[in-house]
Amino acid sequence: MTKTTRLGRHVFGCFVLLAAAAVSTTLYAQTADTATLPASTVSAAPTPDPGQELVVVELFNKSVVINSIIFGLSVIALLLFTYFFLMLRGPMLAPPLFVDEISKLVRTRQFKEAADYCRGHQRFFIASIVQRCMENTDKPHGVLMGILDSEGRRRADIIWNRINYLADVSNVAPMLGLLGTVLGMIEAFFGLEYASASINAKVLSNAIGGAMATTMFGLIVGIVALVFHAIVKGRLIGALAEAEQVAHSLTDQINRSEP
């Protein structure tokens, strides 16, 4: 298991714990409020004007804990998208300087030196692929192509797993939004017990409107994260195609360098 995979699991584990804390905090708060607040006070509480427009900040404050988690997911999605968008390019997976140096070593049949050079540059996607080929130069061309394909798939799977964090955000954010809506609805219906009949409609509409806001925020973040994932996915496919072309070119040079 790679460090990035472990880090990703820790991050999402933290968000699960935060979501659980949000549920318990909200339920405890509403229980404490309804238990300690007299009915006359609840009935006399000011209600918003039906014609008043709710701004984003007011909607956000309807469920601060869950909306804050959703906002945190949006920040993570933006950071992941920026990182992947900048890093997933052909020259980043197979740097020209690295490829040129390997080509020089292959042309002079310095395969051991080429393998050592790859070991020292494992941060590059193509390095381990070329290293495996350099360590098996005595094998037939068909075997080399099989090694290249298997190692390339292994390395590509690691990157695919990393960009799937964006897909995870697109799934988790709407679920958190739905959770906030359910909690808001529970709070709204329990609040009716302590409200007078004359303001029941206002209390209920205001509470339900605030509860629906968490679903709106969750859907917005989920849709944006899904778009980010689609963009990064297309960029990765193109970058992997370029890296594969470079790897095949280096493998062909091994055969051409044979005496």
C-alpha span between 227 and 112 (Å, rounded): 44
Q: What angle do CA 191, 192, 195 make, to 5 degrees?
A: 95
Task: Decide if 106 is inside a domain.
Answer: yes
Task: Decide if 20 is inside a domain.
Answer: no
Task: Decide if 14 is inside a domain.
Answer: no
Give the residues of the chain that fall short of pLDDT 50. Answer: 1-5, 7-8, 10-12, 14-53
pLDDT at 2: 45
Q: Are 101 and 113 in contact (CB under 8 A)?
A: no
pLDDT at 27: 42
Instruction: Provide the token pair at 70.
Output: 């959703």
pLDDT at 34: 40
Q: Are 94 and 243 in contact (CB under 8 A)?
A: yes
Q: Note the Cα 22 to chain centre separation in Å.
A: 21
At residue 137, the 3 state secondary structure works out as: coil
pLDDT at 203: 67
**What are the tens digits of pLDDT across the range 12-61?**
454 444 444 444 444 444 444 444 434 443 343 444 444 444 577 777 88
Task: Decide if 229 is inside a domain.
Answer: yes
Domain that holds residue 172: 55-256
Task: Decide if 22 is inside a domain.
Answer: no
C-alpha span between 28 and 253 (Å, rounded): 69
Task: Decide if 77 is inside a domain.
Answer: yes
Q: Number of structural domains, the chain?
A: 1
**Other Cβ atoms within 10 Å of 150 Cβ, number:** 12
Task: Decide if 17 is inside a domain.
Answer: no
pLDDT at 185: 84
pLDDT at 217: 92
Task: Decide if 181 is inside a domain.
Answer: yes
